[in-house]
Structure 1
C-alpha cells in the first residue's frame, strides 16, 4: 500500500498537536494546499494525524527540518491510499484484530518503560496528568508520556489513571507509531522477541524510520548482519554510537543503548 498526505488547505507540519501559532519556527513547517508527501505510517491522535514520512525514489529517508515524524491537523489534510481518500474513522494500518498487547515483545515494553519513566506517581500508585516539559499545559501528559488516549481524546489537566492503564496507553502508542515501519526491515522475521524488543526501544527513542537512512548506518548494519548477532561486543559497539556524545544526555543514552544491546544479545 502507498499512503500519501495531501494538504486541502494551507497548514503546518507540527512537532506536537497544538496550535501552529504557539510553536517556534524550528517546530513547524508550512504545508501548502495541494502539496502531497508520501508517508510510511500514520496514527490518529485526537483531531490530528501523526505521520512518519516515507523514503524517496533513491531509498533515502525524507526529512523536514531534520524530523521524519510530524503532526497534521486532520481538517486541513486528506490521507490517500493509492490515490483513494482514506476514512480516518477507520482503524489505522498498524491495528490488528489480535489487540495491541499481543504484537509487542514484553521485553521491549519493559525496557521502554524503564527509560521513559512513570511520571507524577501519586501515593496510591496512580499517575496524575502533568505539564509537558517544553509546551506546558498546551500538551497535558500522563503516565509514560501519553498525550492522547487510544480512543482519540486528549489528556486533560486533572486526569488520573492507574499504572495498568498507563502501560496500556504506552503499548498502544508504540504499536501505532513503530510496528508497521519496523516490520519492513528485511531481517525482521529472523529476529527473536528480545532482538525485536531492543529494536523497538531504539526506534521509540530515535524514530522508527531509521533503517537504511543517513546517520543510522551502524544500527542498519546490526539488522543486516544475522551472522554477528551473537557477537555481544560488536553489537554493543554499534548501539552505543547513538548516545549524543558531549551532551548532557550522553550518560543516560549510553545506559539505554547498553541495555538495548544486552537485550538484543540475550
Structure 2
C-alpha cells in the first residue's frame, strides 16, 4: 500500500494567525499517526510563516512513523537535517520568496550541486528524494545525483484532471515507468485530493508515498481529521 504522509504546514499556519499554541502542531502530528498516517511531512521556510524551527525539533521527538522534512537545501536546511536525521529529506527548488512549491528541479543544470548535497544527506543516514516534473531528462539526471527517490510534482495532473483525466495522467505514467526502470523510488505530491488521488494511484501502482497537506487539512474542517485520514488511506489501497 502506498504510504500517506500528512503535511501539517497548514496547522501551523492557523496557529500562527492567532499566536499561542492553538492548534497544537505536535499534538496534531501525534493524532495523525494515531488515525493512520504513515508519515508526517513539514516544509520549514526561512521566514517561518508556518512551521518553525522549534516545531521541527519538537516534532522530531514525537514522530514515530516516518518524518519527512522538505525544503530548499540551503545551509540552514542542511544544518537542520544533520541535527535531526529524519527518515527522509525531500529537496525542493523553491527559494524563500515563493508562495508554494510549484516546479521541479532542472536536475541536469543542478546535477553537481545536488550530488554534493545528497552525498552529505546519505552520510547522515537520511533517505533522499528530489522534487521533479515529468520531463524524462530531469528524471534521468536525477539518477546521476545519487538520490534514492524522486517526488513527482503533480500540480499539472491536478489542474487538468477534471478536463481530461486520461491526458492528465499520461505523462506521469511514462515518467514513473522510466523512474522504475532506473531503479528510483517514487513519491508524489502537490494538489492531490479525494477527487484525483484514486485514479493517480491506479495508474501509478509503484507509488511508494504521497505527501498531502492543503487538501487533506481542508477536508478535515468538514469531515474531521480521523475520518479524513482514513478516507485518503482507503483511496490508496491496492
| Same fold at TM > 0.5 | no
TM-score bucket (shorter structure): under 0.3
- TM-score, structure 1 as length reference: 0.24
- TM-score, structure 2 as length reference: 0.26
Which protein has the bigger helix share? 2
The structure whose RCO (Cα within 8 Å, separation 6+) is larger is 2
